[in-house]
Amino acid sequence: MSERIEINEVSPRDGLQMEKAFVPTENKIAYVDALSACGFARIEVTSYTSPKAIPTLADADAVMAGIRRVPSVRYTALVPNLRGMERAVEGRPDEINLVMSVSETHNRANLRMTREQSLAGLQDVLREAGKLGLPCNVSLSTAFGCPFEGEIAQAEVLRLAQALADSGAAGITACDTTGMAHPEQVRQLSTVLQQQLQIPVTIHLHNTRGMGLANALAAYGAGIRRFDAASGGLGGCPYAPGASGNVSTEELVHMFDSMGCETGVDVDKLLEVVGTLSGLVGRPVTSQLAQAGTRLRRYAPPAWLAEKFPHA
Amino acid sequence: MSERIEINEVSPRDGLQMEKAFVPTENKIAYVDALSACGFARIEVTSYTSPKAIPTLADADAVMAGIRRVPSVRYTALVPNLRGMERAVEGRPDEINLVMSVSETHNRANLRMTREQSLAGLQDVLREAGKLGLPCNVSLSTAFGCPFEGEIAQAEVLRLAQALADSGAAGITACDTTGMAHPEQVRQLSTVLQQQLQIPVTIHLHNTRGMGLANALAAYGAGIRRFDAASGGLGGCPYAPGASGNVSTEELVHMFDSMGCETGVDVDKLLEVVGTLSGLVGRPVTSQLAQAGTRLRRYAPPAWLAEKFPHA
């Protein structure tokens, strides 16, 4: 269990894009800087989507320019298309993250394109990024199920992942966008993706039905060592109203820590940052782990105990 | 994956004993009857603890007398001591459940006895129950950690489990009373308990730090086929204030269902019962799975989709 698990903290992008209130640019920068001190392998800082589509991240340029970079962290940003990539390059990300859905209906609803159009567009970005030597990861949404279509065929995930790998993707992320994955499915898809692809596979989980950490455990058992997660479990999906957010980073790190696995993330520092989230987003953010404390948190025994058992 | 998983629904006892408001006897009976229709292997109906100690379950006799029994369900009740067993026998439980802590401090705080006194008392009950042919399971609290003492030595769990098995216990339950267990620990303790004991081992989990289902998955992987769980995640521990309740039955069943494992429990029926919990206990009970729906719940695509993609 000595191989390091790489955590990609996605809350600055995947979390904040879902918030109703615009988080001031300087607060976003301070938040990313605080995360940088926690020991993450990667931080997804922002998105170069059109400000009209996602106004909450309209300040992508300013945020990328304002953060203080720690050499051990790779700073990534989401890029929707060639135009977004051109903007992104100015921000000097260490890598970029592209996205499309495995489900045709979800791709149309979320990206307003067919999968064919999305694939062609991402292949354009991969080609141009390749010329610049900029590594591109591709996130495949709804890889474990779609809230419109239901089950998603594993063969479709593999087909798209392979096409993107062949076009130069540096990594593939299989996303459980609305928390439909179960451990056996995660084990299977993790296994075949790693068997088929020559590039690293990341798993992106949501905790919608309580299975977030169980799915992470199944992925780990299948050899996965890269995970997306969002502090405080921020995020969600606009097309599945009951859906809760991403698997919470602090709980993921705490589980792997407890098991003796190395993540590089300091859970106590991270819990301090999690304590600032409600202030950051302007609504109460409940973190189960922050409330309970880490597993070895000690309580004082009741005061009457010493009286009742004087010779203890 | 064909071997059936046996779920012991503990909410009528372990859940309701923690509620502030007294649930009227007829409502308790109706609740147990509704659970009986869901397909559980076992239901822990009540506790024969002193009404002074746990006033919320003071109506144990009336509840046991009032429920309609389904032949496929084994009805159990918690029994603290010989006096409790004498009362319990009148209620004709199919089996009884005894309890003590692996942690000395927790045993003193929770049961107001030393472990030595508890062990001797339970051995008396086991002997008398044996004469009546009444099967006794023993639940070992704080088997994965104690909020007062911290880590608990696996050897201590084994020592007490063995002593109780030698005295006639029909089964041992290892309880993660305050949600300190992690998957690697669950895998290890599940393995050695099953290796050492000749009687069935049940795992009792809490979801305090989000690891409830991950721990259940680890136990399942180690061969465990018996789990305690509480609908709606009711329950908790008075000595660990931040601690949330038991692992929620609906999420446990839903995970195993999704994985293709047989539990015998009808998750849709169970979710209907979970929908009555807030009314039963008189406070809002949040069930993540009830909110999100089972994993294949479908949503209608946005209405504009057909317009934007007319030739789809």
pLDDT in tens, B184-237: 999 999 999 999 999 999 999 999 999 999 999 999 999 999 999 999 999 976
pLDDT class for A310, splitting at 50, 70, 90? confident
How many whole angstroms separate alpha carbon B254 and alpha carbon A90? Answer: 47
> Is residue B277 within 8 Å of B248, Cβ to Cβ?
no
Tokens 């305690």 sit at which residue?
A: B228
Check CB contact under 8 Å for B109 and A213. no
Q: Give A147 to chain B, closest Cα distance, Å.
A: 5
| Chain B contact set for A241 (CB, 8 A) | 299
Question: Measured between alpha carbons, how far is B226 from A8 in angstroms, rounded to an integer?
Answer: 36
Report how far residue B99's alpha carbon sits from residue A42's, in angstroms, rounded to the nearest whole number.
47
Q: Is A147 on the interface with B (CB under 8 A)?
A: yes
Of the candidates B70, B4, B12, B10, the residue with the CA atom closest to the CA atom of residue B37 = B70
Longest Cα–Cα distance in chain B: 77
* Site of tokens 């209130």: A21
- Closest by CA to B230, choosing from B179, B306, B301, is B179
Q: How many helices (H) and strands (E) does chain B have?
A: 13, 8
Q: Half-sphere exposure (CA, 13 Å, Cβ side) for B100?
A: 25
B residues 224-253 closer than 8 Å to A (CB): 239-244, 248, 251
Q: What is the pLDDT of residue B1?
A: 42
Q: Which of B97, B278, B268, B66 is nearest to B173 (CA)?
A: B97
The domains located in chain B, with CATH, are: 6-308 (3.20.20.70)
Contact A57, A47 (CB under 8 A): yes
Nearest CA in chain B to A113: B309
Does residue B260 belong to the interface with chain A, where contact is any CB pair within 8 Å? yes
B275 C-beta neighbours (distance < 10 Å), count = 13
Contact B292 A179 (CB under 8 A): yes
From B76's Cα to the closest Cα of chain A, the distance in A is 28
> How far apart are alpha carbons B203 and B42 in whole angstroms?
14
CA distance A92 to A137: 15
Question: For chain A, how long is the longest CA-to-CA vector?
Answer: 77
CB-based contact, B176 to chain A, within 8 Å? no
The yes-or-no verdict on residue A178 having pLDDT over 50 is yes
Mutate to test the interface with A, among B112, B117, B186, B209 (most CBs of A within 10 A): B209
B246 Cα to chain A: minimum distance (Å): 13
How far away is chain A from the Cα of B231, in angstroms, using its nearest Cα? Answer: 14
The 10 Å Cβ neighbour count of residue B81 is 18
CB atoms within 10 A of CB A298: 12
Residue with tokens 């600032």: A276
DSSP collapsed to 3 states, chain A: CCCCCEEEECHHHHHHHHCCCCCCHHHHHHHHHHHHCCCCCEEEEEECCCCCCCHHHCCHHHHHHHCCCCCCCEEEEECCCHHHHHHHHHCCCCEEEEEEECCHHHHHHHHCCCHHHHHHHHHHHHHHHHHHCCCEEEEEECCCCECCCECCCHHHHHHHHHHHHHCCCCEEEEECCCCCCCHHHHHHHHHHHHHHCCCCEEEECECCCCCHHHHHHHHHHCCCCEEEEEHHHCCCCCCCCCCCCECEHHHHHHHHHHCCCCCCCCHHHHHHHHCCHHHHHCCCCCCHHHHHCCCCCCCCCCCHHHHHCCCC
Which residue's structure tokens are 């909020």? B147
Comparing alpha-carbon positions, the chain B residue that sits nearest to A242 is: B292
Min CA distance, A270 vs chain B (Å)?
A: 15
Q: Which residues contact A38 (CB under 8 A, 6 or more apart)?
A: A9, A265, A266, A269, A270, A273
Segment A221-259, tens digit of pLDDT: 999 999 999 999 999 766 665 557 899 999 999 999 999
CA dist B58 and B48 (Å) reads: 8
pLDDT at A244: 73
**pLDDT value at position A3?**
84
Q: Which residue of B has its CA nearest to A260?
A: B184
Kindly report the pTM of this predicted structure.
0.97
Are residues B208 and A254, on separate chains, in Cβ contact within 8 Å?
Answer: no
Tell me the C-alpha distance between A14 and B35, whole Å.
Answer: 40
| The one catalytic residue among B38, B136, B175, B237 | B237
Q: Given an 8 Å threshold on Cβ–Cβ distance, is A105 in contact with B301?
A: yes
DSSP three-state, residue B309? coil
B146 as an active site residue: the answer is no
Average pLDDT of the segment spanning A104-121: 96
User: How many other CB atoms sit within 10 Å of the CB of residue B167?
Assistant: 18
pLDDT tens per residue across span A33-50 = 999 999 999 999 999 999
Question: Can you say how many angstroms the Cα of residue B63 is from the centroid of all Cα atoms in its chain?
Answer: 18
**Residue A230: per-residue pLDDT:** 97
Cα(B28)–Cα(B23) distance, integer angstroms = 6
The Cβ-side half-sphere exposure at B139, using a 13 Å CA radius, reads 26
Query: Could you give the CA distance from residue A28 to residue A184 in angstroms, rounded to a whole number?
Result: 37
Q: Look up residue B137 and give its two tokens.
A: 């399971």
CA-CA distance, A137 to A139, in Å (whole number)?
7
| Composition of chain B by helix, strand, coil, percent to 5 | 45, 15, 40
ipTM of the complex: 0.96
Nearest Cα neighbor of A281 from A11, A3, A93, A7 is A11
Q: Do A296 and B255 touch (CB under 8 A)?
A: no
In sequence order, what are the residues at sequence separation of 6 or more whose Cβ sits closer than 8 angstroms to the Cβ of residue A66?
A25, A26, A29
- B258: its two tokens: 């999704």
Spell out the alpha helix ranges (H) of chain B: 25-36, 60-66, 82-90, 104-111, 115-132, 154-166, 183-196, 212-221, 249-258, 267-274, 277-281, 288-292, 304-308
Determine the pLDDT at residue B70. 98
**What is the Cα–Cα distance from B175 to A91, expressed in whole angstroms?**
51
Cβ–Cβ < 8 Å for B68, B56: no
The DSSP bridge pattern shows strands A42-47 and B6-9 to be: unpaired
Q: How far, in Å, CA of A29 to CA of B161, rounded?
A: 54
Tell me, what's the pLDDT at A286? 87
pLDDT for res B217:
98
**What pLDDT does residue A1 have?**
42
pLDDT averaged over consecutive 10-residue blocks of chain B (312 residues)?
86 94 97 98 97 94 98 98 97 98 96 97 98 98 97 98 98 96 98 98 96 98 98 81 82 98 98 97 92 94 90 63
Residue whose pair of structure tokens reads 């000395």 in the numeric block: B104
Residue of B nearest to A144 (CA): B295
